[in-house]
């Protein structure tokens, strides 16, 4: 598997949401919510984006409280933690402002990414602290989770109204799968096999990567008959591709076009 | 001649007896200002002393310097004591951020997360960096390797972050003999 990052439609949707922050109508809309089922590449895309732009990346914990959150934020910003909560909040605001200024000068976009934000989306105190920091510092906060965030935020209309963009990560399209396979796979893959991969993986990135490994392992030992066309479904007939996400049963490449489980 | 060269010329010309600026001007190809400036520099270094106004002679340190064949240069005049700030947004800094986010990773994972495409030898660079981090016991190699797909591939080692040193990536110093942690300001021997 080639170690390259592939920009799927989810990546572009995330970027569009961040761009929309710059053209927002209300100044206080500084929250972006990213959600989707596990295995759609949220963490991969966010970690890549955060490390590329020098953003602050925090992973929410089950027992996170407001003070713990600010302490972690200060640690990440390399600021000595004052004793009192009020002073910590001020220090966090200053640190965020300085980091945003630094990013602006170097032409990068700065934000605070909070992964696994489902843990905090139902906690009013923590979410209000996020809102205060976002409002007062002008730094965008990206909340990443698995689908509960949107529902939980509806309980806090003052927060929900500040969300400038919701990005729901969806399963890969046929075009995404073909692009993914052509960029990452060391063996050329024919469109018929790519279509089968999309169908049996349901478009989940995690499963597509699993299928890619199986295709590559087979293709490097049995070169495709037509290198221009790539490895076809007929050539891989009977080979184990992935395990089904729900049942755990192995899915093999069929000799006809039906899925053999 | 530069300032350092003037000082060197004066250092080797002065002897144990006191010489005035006028005497020096006749024997050295320097004007009064240049002699005065060179003498001030040598006095600061402790090689020359002023016996009276406009009259200079070598000190004991000056004689030792002449005996050692020392050449005066414009600098450096001592070791650099200030700490160099780490560079932002390098491949290794991005890789370190990716390690902190992922916690468990392989080299191909790091390349996927960090390489922008214009780096030369990104894989080798990260390989060396990861090896140093492992030596410093900042990361640990897991017993299970990620299987490779090529027929003869032994797979890829997997690592896990043991000590999260902080947001700034540790850098190698002294030809890779020590790892410097910019977050705590401490060196870790390899």
Verify that A193 and A91 share a domain, yes or no.
no
% of chain A with per-residue pLDDT over 70: 95
Q: Has residue B74 been placed in a domain?
A: no
CA distance B97 to chain A (A): 6
Verify that B37 and B98 share a domain, yes or no.
no
Verify that A187 and A233 share a domain, yes or no.
yes
pLDDT for residue A260 is more than 50:
no
Using a CB-CB cut-off of 8 Å, the residues of chain A touching B94 are: 51-52
CA distance B176 to chain A (A): 24
What is each CA distance from A82 to A85, A88, B69, in whole angstroms? Answer: 8, 5, 56
Residue where one domain finishes, among candidates A118, A150, A168: A168
Q: Has residue B54 been placed in a domain?
A: yes
Using a CB-CB cut-off of 8 Å, the residues of chain A touching B168 are: 78
Verify that B111 and B172 share a domain, yes or no.
yes
Q: Out of B89, B93, B111, whose CB is closest to A3?
A: B111
Verify that B15 and B58 share a domain, yes or no.
yes
Q: Has residue B79 been placed in a domain?
A: no
CA distance B179 to chain A (A): 19
Q: Has residue A3 been placed in a domain?
A: no
Verify that B107 and B145 share a domain, yes or no.
yes
The pLDDT of residue B85: 67
Q: What residues make up the domain containing A202? A: 174-252
pLDDT tens string, chain B, 190 residues long: the values are 567 888 998 999 887 778 888 888 888 888 889 999 999 989 988 999 988 888 888 999 999 999 998 888 877 777 777 766 666 788 999 999 999 888 899 999 999 888 887 888 889 999 999 999 999 999 999 998 988 888 888 989 999 999 988 888 999 988 888 999 988 888 888 8
Verify that A122 and A29 share a domain, yes or no.
yes
CATH number of the domain residue A115 falls in: 3.40.50.300
> Is residue B59 within 8 Å of residue B138, measured between CB atoms?
no
Per DSSP, the three-state class of A127 is: helix
Using a CB-CB cut-off of 8 Å, the residues of chain B touching A5 are: 112-113, 115
> Is residue A141 within 8 Å of residue A133, measured between CB atoms?
yes
> A1, B88: Cβ pair inside 8 Å?
no
Tell me the pLDDT band of A25, cut-offs 50, 70 and 90. Answer: low
Mean pLDDT taken over chain A: 86
Q: Out of A51, A59, A78, whose CB is closest to B183?
A: A78
Verify that B96 and B55 share a domain, yes or no.
no
Verify that A140 and A203 share a domain, yes or no.
no
The pLDDT of residue B156: 92
CA distance A76 to chain B (A): 6
* Residues 6+ positions from B93 with CB-CB distance below 8 Å: A54, B86, B87, B168, B169
* B93: nearest CA partner in chain A: A51
Verify that B8 and B54 share a domain, yes or no.
yes
Using a CB-CB cut-off of 8 Å, the residues of chain B touching A47 are: 97-98, 101-102, 113
Q: Has residue A234 been placed in a domain?
A: yes
């Amino acid at each position: 598997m080639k170690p390259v990052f592939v920009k799927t439609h989810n990546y572009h949707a995330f970027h569009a949401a961040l761009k929309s922050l710059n053209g927002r109508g209300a100044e206080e809309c500084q929250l972006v919510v990213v959600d989707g089922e596990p295995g759609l590449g949220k963490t991969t895309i966010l970690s890549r984006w955060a490390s590329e732009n020098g953003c602050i990346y925090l992973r929410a914990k089950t027992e996170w409280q407001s003070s713990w959150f600010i302490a972690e934020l200060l640690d990440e910003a390399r600021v000595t933690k004052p004793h009192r909560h009020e002073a910590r909040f001020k220090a966090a605001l200053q640190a965020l402002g300085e980091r945003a200024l630094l990013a602006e000068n170097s032409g990068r976009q700065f934000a605070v990414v909070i992964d696994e934000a489902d843990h905090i989306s139902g906690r009013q105190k923590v979410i209000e602290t996020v809102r205060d920091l976002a409002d007062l510092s002008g730094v965008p906060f990206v909340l990443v989770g698995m689908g509960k965030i949107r529902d939980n935020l509806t309980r806090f209309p003052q927060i929900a109204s500040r969300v400038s963009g919701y990005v729901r990560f969806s399963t890969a399209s046929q075009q995404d799968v073909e692009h993914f396979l052509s960029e990452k796979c060391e063996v050329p893959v024919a469109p018929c096999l790519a279509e089968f991969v999309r169908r049996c993986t349901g478009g989940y990135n995690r499963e597509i990567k699993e299928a890619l490994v199986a295709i590559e392992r087979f293709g490097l030992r049995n070169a495709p008959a037509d290198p221009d066309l790539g490895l076809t479904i007929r050539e891989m007939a009977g080979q184990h591709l992935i395990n089904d996400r729900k049942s755990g049963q192995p899915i093999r490449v069929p000799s006809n076009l039906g899925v053999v489980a | 001649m530069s300032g350092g060269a003037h000082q060197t010329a004066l250092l080797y010309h002065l002897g144990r007896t006191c010489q005035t600026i006028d005497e020096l001007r006749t024997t050295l190809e320097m004007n009064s200002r240049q002699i005065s400036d060179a003498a001030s520099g040598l006095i600061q270094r402790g090689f020359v002393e002023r016996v009276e106004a406009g009259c200079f002679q070598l000190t004991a340190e000056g004689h030792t310097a002449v005996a050692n064949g020392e050449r005066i240069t414009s600098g450096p005049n001592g070791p650099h004591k200030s700490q160099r700030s780490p560079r932002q947004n390098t491949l290794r800094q991005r890789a370190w951020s990716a390690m902190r986010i992922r916690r468990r990773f392989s080299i191909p994972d790091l390349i996927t997360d960090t390489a922008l495409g214009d780096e030369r030898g990104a894989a080798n660079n990260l390989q060396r960096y990861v090896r140093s981090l492992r030596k410093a016991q900042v990361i640990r190699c897991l017993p299970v390797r990620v299987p490779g797909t090529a027929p003869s591939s032994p797979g890829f080692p997997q690592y896990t972050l043991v000590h999260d040193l902080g947001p700034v990536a540790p850098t190698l110093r002294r030809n890779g003999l020590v790892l410097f942690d910019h977050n705590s300001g401490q060196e870790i021997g390899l």
